[in-house]
Amino acid sequence: MLAINDVSIQLGPDVGAKLLAGVSAMFPLAHFGAIIGPSGCGKTSLLKLIAGIAPGREQGEVVWNGRNLADDDFRAGEIAYVPQFGIAHEELTARECVEYALALRVRATSRDHAQKTVHRVLAEVGMQDFAEQAVKTLSGGQRR
């Protein structure tokens, strides 16, 4: 279960209003939910807070399966975050983008293990047939 308990984000000590204030929610495992609201209301900031990449000072807690994520971060494979805008470099191939993301996220590993992981990731998201295509030729959904 994902529990968000009274979380707030303030961008800085001199900023009077909070970006998010006192937000609480619970999401059972295997639950499909949606975070909806008008532009600028904090939807992306809330998702970034859950993923551990929110800007500013935070209050409250985010708990995943009984673990407070401030003390015990997500483990590999427990969460995925797809940003609103793509982060892939347009001149790289899809395979190269996954390789570089893997190198940034995972500690040093053998070249063989890294290649197998890249192949598995591309297969899991249905992109193995596009592995050698430049990102600039992919659709918006494929880029993400």
pLDDT by position in tens, the chain (length 144): 999 999 988 876 666 677 888 999 999 988 888 888 887 788 888 888 888 877 776 789 999 999 998 888 888 778 777 666 666 788 899 999 899 888 877 777 788 888 999 999 999 989 999 999 998 888 877 877
Residue with the two structure tokens 């893997």: 102
Nearest alpha-carbon partner for 37 in 29, 46, 28:
46
Report the C-alpha gap between 37 and 43 in whole angstroms. 7
Report the C-alpha gap between 99 and 52 in whole angstroms. 22
- Which phi and psi angles does 42 have, rounded to 5°? 110, 10
Report the C-alpha gap between 31 and 129 in whole angstroms. 31
Q: For position 91, what pLDDT does the model report?
A: 86
Q: For position 65, what pLDDT does the model report?
A: 92
Nearest alpha-carbon partner for 80 in 144, 16, 15, 1:
144
Long-range pairs of 47-53 with CB within 8 A, sequence gap ≥ 24: 47/81, 48/81, 49/4, 49/7, 49/9, 49/20, 50/2, 50/4, 50/79, 51/79, 51/81, 53/81
Residue 7, Cβ neighbours under 10 Å: how many?
Answer: 22
Report the C-alpha gap between 120 and 126 in whole angstroms. 10
According to DSSP, the β-strands at 67-68 and 20-27 are unpaired
